[in-house]
Homo-oligomer: A and B are copies of this chain.
Amino acid sequence: MNLHSRHQIAPDSDVRLDDLDPGATPGATREEGEQALPDLNEKLGRLVQELWADQRFALLVVLQGMDASGKDGTVRKVFSGVNPLGCRVFSFKRPTPEESGHDFLWRVHARCPRRGEVVVFNRSHYEDVGIVRVHDLVPRKVWSARFEQINDFEKLLHASGTRILKFFLHISRAEQKQRLLERIHDPLKAWKMELGDIEERAHWPAYMKAYSEAISRCSTRHAPWYIVPADKKWYRNLIVAQAIIHELQSLQLRPPPPHFDPAAVRVPD
């Protein structure tokens, strides 16, 4: 069951998020998806160990999506079999004054994985062609140059061994409403909510337009985008896990040989 490839966006596509159904679950039933996950967790745990041992490649996973699209939940569910030691997660917030003093890729570059490591970006440099564009935080001339800058940057990472997978968690407006309402009434989540998150819904069409263009322009062979139907959490988890596992398996990871001949080593009492 390899379903992720049907959600990968081919280079030079012209995708429109509005044409894609966030509630779709092609190729799997809920039962199949939920049953498959524990195995995928375990497989991923082992592959991440092998990535570390192999020391030739790094893995960068980028998660984007509207508020409540499930970015945190994806990290929790997909990476739950992975040793926290082998996997770092960064959440990018509004840039600090120091970060704003640099080019938009500076803070991102600083947090990229070294060889052997997995890093997950919860939001990323795609905010700089997303919210930045929707709210006119920089002139069109500046953000429109960024697609090429992003492609060049990701090409650099790829050339030094970093494999990059980018997932847009695509939820519907109705599903977002439902999840925001749940947050408002959950004391563990309400304290960190800003009512601005709700007002952002007014900009939904502008976000869909911005992300449609970013995904179309920046889904490349070396750093593909996936648009993941994410109204159903079990399907979202399944697709993200399958895509990551497939990528790691394609690397044919193998640990370097030991510094000694295992057959010749004795451990004294």
Contact = CB atoms under 8 A, between A and B. Distances in A.
B80 A75 contact: no
Provide the main secondary structure of the chain A interface.
Answer: mixed
Interface residues of A, number: 49
A233 to B, nearest CB: 15
Interface in A14-42: none
Interface stretch (A104-112, A149-157, A216-224, A259-267): A259-267
Nearest to A266: B198
A257 interface: yes
A72 B80 contact: no
A118 B177 CA distance: 32
Contacts of A94: none
B84 A267 contact: no
A139 interface: no
A234 B140 CA distance: 58
B80 A177 contact: no
B262 A185 contact: yes
Given A75-B85, A195-B265, A260-B195, A49 B180 contact: no
Given A49-B188, A190-B260, 5 more contacts: A75-B83, A75-B84, A80-B80, A184-B260, A193-B259
